[in-house]
């Protein structure tokens, strides 16, 4: 065996040796998809506020359960609760902190020293635990920390208890954050398991159509599949876990690996025609490694720019995908040339011709671009401006409910709960009283009632729950009888502080009292929490006594304000990552063209796709979600891929003293076909995931396809139009 042969076998054997380790990693890689809180930035004020809220009131995670016929006198209701509590009591580490149902609260409100009439009690529980019909009710479970960690066990307990009392699982209507989190996990896993194989098959078919050689197609697909597995192994061996966005990373690596492999095979075809089969692999590597490496590096930079995001799943997607691309490049540029050197396949190599020989042929498209370059460039630049203006109008969304299709089981259950009982989404208003605040218990409750009244008057608001729901209206007036009634009520309320604390309606933290108002809103509600907080503080100040106002504070807490804070962060992360990617990639273009102005000009076709697509989303009112945020920087890097290959051939033609028009014609002939093919391989392979029931994954796939096609238009039309105009001669002059 010759030295060169041994050198070719080495990367192949090293790659094969890595297969068991990759398979082990893929089989044992864990997912934290259901832990939605891990997505959110730890350092944000809303997250810190939420953590303080949890320390005061415990885990804020509820499971809402109901069923058709779950009325106040349904005998299955107490049996269901009893079985649920009995099963949980048998555990060494209970999963459920409390179980509350409409009948229990109704009994609480209609008995004791502060008893209300039944109609009044029902009125106070309406849209919280009792529906508009004053009969339908639900059960609400609040989980412990153990239950938050093991949500699946909590839900299994619910279904087991339901089955024990004669309820079929299909009858149950369940909702709440815990259910949504599990639905995210299940839907993501289902999308990956069911769509990964079709995505690979479609990529295989499209790659075969492009290469017209099954053996070469299998070679490229095998290497691309290895790259996809290697990216997942990187997550495993660095101690990471899969999440909702990382789920699409393997298929992204697969299609990008196919794209790089197809480009390399095209360089091999050129080399076979020019140098023969014996030397083709070496010359293909020599000709293709610079544009392939640069395009991979720019795409990796686009992905790595997502590392600035404060949202962990976006950050991990960007960094792991960038690492996977770099490692994938090493595999592509060593294994494929090595196999081609040993195999020396005969390909349908095109007869090599110099740029001079091709200056007059194959030029109809280029001639049209040349004749139309002015209006083509103007139209595309107008699209950039239009997109920029539309992007200003763009809105973001991270609501959990928007992550599922309207016909999903989760959304149907949520709609039933909101229709039959009341709003499901919630947030909390926390009113904090200082240790030396002058308000007595009843004054504080009156302030709480005033705040509740203001909240209930606002649009998109539902019912509220606080201590005031458990007591009669506070007696007003200055007479002796009213004063006595106030004192009696104050004493009765003071005796029930332990109950209120057990129900999570108030807490004592560092000698200060926290009163909690739970606010329910429809899942479709869009709220301005900054304005609401300011208005609530104004309302509170008008209800305070002059001496106690300085000792009282009000703020919002809960998952909904936390997600709202994350929603605002999304747009900032999108802009920041895109700008960073632009700043990092632009110097590469300047270096390739040996000119600062030329590099800047060549970046115009690369920002064209993102601005046009995201601008269109802004004009059409389509919200930007977590899946959409990661596409802009990825698309910028991928767009540069085709730009670099096009400019590589353009530069070679200009070095042979061809005029810009002939150089464009030469570049079109050499790489336009490969550009179209790689776009179709990447786009159609990813487009399979548009069928996912999980909206962020579906949105990611759809946007990537649209961005890739738009990037192809940008390179074949806008870039060619720029080069066909006066700028093309000037850019060419820099290369001569």
Helices and strands in the chain: count of H runs, count of E runs: 28, 9
Confidence band for 17, pLDDT divided at 50, 70 and 90: very high
Q: Distance between CA 495 and CA 499 in Å, rounded? A: 9
Q: Which of 141-155, 512-526, 593-607, 708-722 has the least mean pLDDT? A: 593-607
Tokens matching residue 732? 């060419």
pLDDT at 400: 67
- What is the rounded average pLDDT of the residues 647-672? 80
pLDDT in tens, 358-384: 444 445 777 777 777 788 788 888 888
Of 139-153, 358-372, 490-504, 601-615, the one with minimum mean pLDDT is 358-372
Return the axis-axis angle of helices 626-655 and 726-735, rounded to nearest 10°: 70
C-beta separation of 235 from 246 below 8 A = yes
Determine the topology of domain 3-34+182-401+564-735 in CATH.
Answer: Multidrug efflux transporter AcrB transmembrane fold (1.20.1640)
d(Cα 712, Cα 675) in Å, to the nearest integer? 7
pLDDT at 734: 44
**Is residue 3 very low, low, confident or very high in pLDDT (cuts 50, 70, 90)?**
low
The reported pLDDT for the residue numbered 363 is 54
For residue 69, give the DSSP letter.
Answer: T
Residue 34 pLDDT level (bands cut at 50, 70, 90): low
Instruction: Measure the CA–CA gap between 694 and 678, rounded to whole angstroms.
Output: 26
Share the mean pLDDT of the chain: 81
Mean pLDDT of 346-358: 52
Q: What pLDDT digit, counting tens, does each position of 272-330 carry? A: 888 777 888 888 888 778 778 887 888 888 888 888 888 888 888 889 999 999 999 99
C-alpha 105 chain-centroid distance: 39
Whole-number CA gyration radius for the chain:
32
Q: What is the mean pLDDT of residues 90-119?
A: 86
Cα(557)–Cα(507) distance, integer angstroms: 14
Inform me whether the pLDDT recorded for 695 exceeds 80.
Answer: yes
Per-residue pLDDT at 352 exceeds 50? no
Mean pLDDT computed over 15-32: 88
Q: For residue 337, count CB atoms less than 10 angstroms from its CB and return exposed for 0-12, middle for 13-18, buried for 19 or more.
A: buried
pLDDT tens digits for range 130-140 = 999 999 999 99
pLDDT for 42 equals 67
Provide the pLDDT confidence category of residue 6 given band limits of 50, 70 and 90. Answer: low
pLDDT at 173 over 90: yes
pLDDT of 5 over the 80 cut: no
- Pair 564, 44: CB distance under 8 Å: no
For helices 249-275 and 177-211, the axis angle rounded to 10 degrees is 10
Residue spans of the domains in the chain: they are 3-34+182-401+564-735, 62-175, 423-563
Count CB-CB contacts under 10 A for residue 16. 11
pLDDT at 733 over 60: no
In this structure, of 132-136, 459-463, 561-565, 603-607, the range with the lowest mean pLDDT score is: 561-565
Are 402 and 442 spatial neighbours (Cβ–Cβ below 8 Å)? no
* The pLDDT value given to residue 362: 47
Average pLDDT over residues 580-604: 81
CATH architecture of 423-563: 2-Layer Sandwich (3.30)
Confidence band (pLDDT; 50, 70, 90) for 36? low
Question: Residue 437: pLDDT above 70?
Answer: no
């Amino acid at each position: 065996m010759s030295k060169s042969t041994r050198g070719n076998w080495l990367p192949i054997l090293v790659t094969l040796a890595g297969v068991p380790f990759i398979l082990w990693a893929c089989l044992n890689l864990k997912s934290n998809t259901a832990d939605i809180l891990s997505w959110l930035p730890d350092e944000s004020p809303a997250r810190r506020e939420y953590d303080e809220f949890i320390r005061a009131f415990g885990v804020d995670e509820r499971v809402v359960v109901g069923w058709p016929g779950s009325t106040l006198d349904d005998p299955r209701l107490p049996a269901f609760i009893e079985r649920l509590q009995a099963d949980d009591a048998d555990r060494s580490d209970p999963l459920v902190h409390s179980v509350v149902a409409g009948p229990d609260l109704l009994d609480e409100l209609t008995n004791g020293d502060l008893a209300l009439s039944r109609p009044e009690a029902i009125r106070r529980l309406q849209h919280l635990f009792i529906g508009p019909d004053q009969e339908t009710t639900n059960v609400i479970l609040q989980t412990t920390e153990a239950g938050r960690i093991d949500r699946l066990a909590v839900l299994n307990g619910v279904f087991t208890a339901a089955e024990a009392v004669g309820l079929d699982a299909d009858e149950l209507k369940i909702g709440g954050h815990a259910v949504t989190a599990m639905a995210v996990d299940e839907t993501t896993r289902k999308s990956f398991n069911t769509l990964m194989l079709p995505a690979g098959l479609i990529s295989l078919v499209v790659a075969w159509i492009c290469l017209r050689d099954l053996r070469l197609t299998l070679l490229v697909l095998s290497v691309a599949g290895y790259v996809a597995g290697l990216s997942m192994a990187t997550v495993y061996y660095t101690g990471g876990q899969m999440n909702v966005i990382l789920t699409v990373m393997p298929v992204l690596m697969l299609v990008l690996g196919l794209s790089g492999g197809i480009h390399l095979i095209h360089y091999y075809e050129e080399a076979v025609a020019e140098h023969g089969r014996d030397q083709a692999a070496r010359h293909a590597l020599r000709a293709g490694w610079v544009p392939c490496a640069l395009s991979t590096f720019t795409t990796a930079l686009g992905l790595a720019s997502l590392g600035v995001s404060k949202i962990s799943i976006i950050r991990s997607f960007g960094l792991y995908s960038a690492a996977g691309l770099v490692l994938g490049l090493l595999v592509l540029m060593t294994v494929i040339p090595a196999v081609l050197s040993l195999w020396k396949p005969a390909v349908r190599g095109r007869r090599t011709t110099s740029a001079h020989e091709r200056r007059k042929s194959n030029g109809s498209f280029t001639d049209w671009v040349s004749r139309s370059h002015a209006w083509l460039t103007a139209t595309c630049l107008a699209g950039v401006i239009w997109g920029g203006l539309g992007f200003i109008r763009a809105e973001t969304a991270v609501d959990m409910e928007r992550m599922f299709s309207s016909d999903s089981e989760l959304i149907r259950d949520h709609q039933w709960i909101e229709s039959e009982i009341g709003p499901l989404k919630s947030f909390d208003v926390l009113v904090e009283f200082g240790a030396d605040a002058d308000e007595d218990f009843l004054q504080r409750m009156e302030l709480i009632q005033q705040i509740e009244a203001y909240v209930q008057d606002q649009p998109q608001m539902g019912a509220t729950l606080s201590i005031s729901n458990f007591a009669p209206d506070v007696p007003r007036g200055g007479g002796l009888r009213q004063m006595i009634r106030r004192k009696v009520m104050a004493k009765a309320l003071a005796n029930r502080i332990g109950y209120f604390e057990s129900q999570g309606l108030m807490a004592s933290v560092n000698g200060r009292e926290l009163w909690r108002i739970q606010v329910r809103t429809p899942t479709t509600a869009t709220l301005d929490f900054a304005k609401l907080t300011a208005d609530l503080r104004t309302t509170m100040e008008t209800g305070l006594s002059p001496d106690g106002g300085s000792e009282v504070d009000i703020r919002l807490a809960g998952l909904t304000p936390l997600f709202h804070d994350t929603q605002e962060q999304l747009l900032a992360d999108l802009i920041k990552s895109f700008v960073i990617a632009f700043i990092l990639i632009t110097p590469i273009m300047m270096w390739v063209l040996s000119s600062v102005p030329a590099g800047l000009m060549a970046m115009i076709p690369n920002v064209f796709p993102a601005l046009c697509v995201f601008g269109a989303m802004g004009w059409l009112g389509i919200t930007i979600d977590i899946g959409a945020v990661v596409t802009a920087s990825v698309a910028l890097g991928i767009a540069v891929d085709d730009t670099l290959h096009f400019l590589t051939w353009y530069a070679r033609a200009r070095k042979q003293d061809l005029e810009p028009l002939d150089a464009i014609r030469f570049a079109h002939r050499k790489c336009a076909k490969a550009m179209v093919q790689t776009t179709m391989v990447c786009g159609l392979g990813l487009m399979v995931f548009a069928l996912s029931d999980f909206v962020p994954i579906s949105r990611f796939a759809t946007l990537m396809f649209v961005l890739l096609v738009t990037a192809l238009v940008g390179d074949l039309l806008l870039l060619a139009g720029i080069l066909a105009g006066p700028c093309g001669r000037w850019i060419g002059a820099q290369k001569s």
